[in-house]
């Protein structure tokens, strides 16, 4: 994970380095062309001055010949040579490579040469003017080194300024982030964000304030619905069940009527259980179980087994336990008890008569295993109203409640099927 400003700075630095690298050959060709242009102009001036000065001296042919010989002797590579009277030769400018006889180095130097026909005493002569070319590579290398030095200074300056300015520029964002991290929806307390002179941060705070106000409003509505449903729905259901019990106590009902009332009573019992479980899921999702305490889960598991002993004995199920002593965890005791009851009741309900159930508990894991014939569909196992067997005894919400309780405590629950055994594991 990297900070946002560091990511942008790295991109800018890489881009600058690429531009710098591309500028080196551009420097080379630009400086070289400037050198050659200046040397060509210099050679042209020398040629014009040579022609003008020799004609101004009005030398005789003998003295002119001696002067040309002396010129050619002391100016190697730059000389005068007699040309035919009819010779027509346009100016020729080019670069040659040769060793400089006056240099101690053995390296080959570049020379810029101009060949032109000039007229001295009305006679044509070939004039060759040659000038040493400055080493463009050395100039470009010096420019590149200086540019790289300033580039490093620029990058180091950016890093220092970025570190110094980021703490001040991003202070409103960090304040907003810290308040969001501590926000609890069940507290229903709106967040008051600090004012900022940065437009983007102000827009962010305004959007978050609007979002949080809406979530708090929705949460209050859901909580009110949960509380109302808990009181208003259970009362008429209890009245209907009581009326059905009164009907069953009358002696005048027929067997058919008794059968119908029993079917209604079973359906009503299931509706009551579904309503109770749905309300429990809503309370868990609305974070209405916030109190945490240290719970001895081993003792709690033993109590749940004792409460469900009658159910297991009716099916002649063998229960084996491997519960380590003094296992304590942090969590909501009510939800942990519901978790244990649902896991154990689910295992008892879906174990065939004379089957076996094994419960193991240590500091890292709770495992409940029971014998079975076919694996369950793990993709839909923890969804609401997904039955784990072809029967109507359950509400289809038990495993969904287990999943929500594990999510609330940040535990992991998993299901496996091996050797004709279903296994549910809760990792603390």
Q: Same structural domain for residues 327 and 244? A: no
Using a 10 angstrom Cβ sphere, with 0-12 exposed, 13-18 middle and 19 or more buried, the burial of residue 348 is buried
Q: How far apart are CA 357 and CA 421, in angstroms?
A: 9
Which residue ranges of the chain lie beneath pLDDT 70? 1-2, 4-6, 76-77, 101-103, 134-137, 186, 226-227, 230-231, 251, 286, 386-395
- Tell me which residue of 231, 191, 196, 220 sits closest to 208, measured CA to CA: 191
Q: Same structural domain for residues 18 and 134? A: yes
Contact indicator for 85, 124 with CB cutoff of 8 Å: yes
CATH number at residue 15: 3.30.450
Identify whether 189 is part of a domain. no
Q: Same structural domain for residues 265 and 330? A: no
The pTM is what? 0.51
Identify whether 216 is part of a domain. no
Q: Same structural domain for residues 31 and 102? A: yes
Question: Quick one: how far is CA 188 from the chain centroid?
Answer: 31
Q: Same structural domain for residues 131 and 12? A: yes
Q: How many other C-beta atoms are found inside a 10 Å radius of the C-beta of residue 215?
A: 13
Structural domain range at position 302: 293-427
Domain boundary among 140, 170, 197: 140
| DSSP reduced 3-state for 8 | helix
Identify whether 183 is part of a domain. no
Domain boundary among 90, 112, 140: 140
Identify whether 205 is part of a domain. no
Q: Same structural domain for residues 262 and 343? A: no
Identify whether 201 is part of a domain. no
Give the Cα-Cα-Cα angle 172, 178, 182 (nearest 5 degrees): 145
Q: Same structural domain for residues 302 and 389? A: yes
How many domains, in total, are found in the chain? 3
Q: Same structural domain for residues 257 and 297? A: no
pLDDT at 390: 47
CA distances for 228 relative to 219, 236, 286, 288, angstroms? 14, 13, 15, 15
Sign of the Cα torsion 395, 398, 401, 403 reads negative
Q: How far apart are CA 69 and CA 136, in angstroms?
A: 34
Q: Name the one residue in this structure whose structure tokens are 């942008």.
A: 8
Q: Same structural domain for residues 372 and 263? A: no
Q: Same structural domain for residues 276 and 297? A: no
Q: Same structural domain for residues 377 and 417? A: yes
Identify whether 199 is part of a domain. no
CATH number at residue 300: 3.30.565.10
Domain boundary among 98, 121, 140: 140
Identify whether 313 is part of a domain. yes
Identify whether 92 is part of a domain. yes
pLDDT at 2: 67
Pairing mode of beta strands 123-132, 108-120: antiparallel
Q: Same structural domain for residues 125 and 46? A: yes
């Amino acid at each position: 994970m990297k900070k946002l400003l560091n990511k942008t700075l790295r991109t800018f630095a890489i881009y600058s380095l690429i531009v710098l690298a591309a500028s080196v050959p551009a420097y080379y060709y630009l400086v070289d062309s400037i050198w050659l242009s200046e040397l060509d102009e210099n050679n042209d001036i020398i040629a014009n001055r040579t022609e003008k000065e020799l004609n101004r001296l009005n030398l005789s042919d003998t003295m002119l010949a001696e002067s040309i010989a002396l010129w050619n002797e002391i100016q190697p590579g730059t000389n005068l040579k007699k040309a035919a009277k009819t010779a027509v030769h346009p100016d020729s400018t080019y670069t040659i490579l040769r060793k400089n006889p006056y240099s101690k180095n053995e390296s080959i130097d570049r020379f810029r040469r101009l060949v032109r026909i000039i007229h001295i005493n009305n006679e044509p002569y070939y004039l060759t003017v040659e000038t040493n070319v400055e080493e463009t590579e050395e100039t470009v290398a010096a420019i590149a080194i200086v540019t790289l030095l300033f580039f490093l200074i620029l990058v180091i300056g950016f890093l220092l300024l970025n570190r110094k300015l980021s703490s001040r520029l991003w202070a409103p964002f960090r304040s907003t982030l810290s308040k969001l991290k501590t926000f609890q929806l069940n507290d229903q307390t709106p967040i008051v964000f600090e004012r900022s002179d940065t437009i983007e941060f102000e827009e962010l705070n305004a959007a978050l304030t609007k979002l949080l106000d809406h979530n708090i409003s929705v949460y209050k509505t859901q909580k009110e619905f949960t509380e109302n449903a808990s009181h208003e729905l259970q009362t008429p259901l209890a009245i209907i069940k009581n009326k059905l019990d009164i009907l069953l106590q009358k002696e005048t009902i027929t067997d058919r009527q008794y059968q119908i009332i029993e079917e209604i009573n079973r359906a009503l019992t299931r509706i009551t259980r579904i309503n109770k479980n749905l309300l429990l899921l809503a309370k868990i999702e609305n974070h209405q179980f916030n109190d945490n305490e240290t719970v001895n889960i081993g003792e709690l598991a033993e109590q749940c087994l004792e409460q469900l002993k009658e159910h297991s004995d009716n099916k002649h199920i063998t229960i084996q336990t491997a519960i380590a002593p003094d296992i304590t965890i942090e969590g909501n005791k009510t939800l942990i008890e519901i978790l244990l009851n649902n896991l154990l009741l689910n295992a008892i309900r879906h174990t065939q008569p004379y089957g076996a159930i094994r419960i193991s508990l240590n500091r890292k894991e709770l495992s409940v295993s029971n014998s079975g014939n076919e694996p369950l569909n793990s993709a839909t196992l923890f969804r609401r109203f997904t039955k784990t067997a072809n029967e109507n005894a359950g509400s289809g919400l038990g495993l969904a409640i287990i999943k929500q309780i594990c999510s609330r405590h940040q535990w992991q629950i998993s299901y496996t099927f091996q050797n004709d055994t279903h296994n549910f594991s809760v990792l603390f």
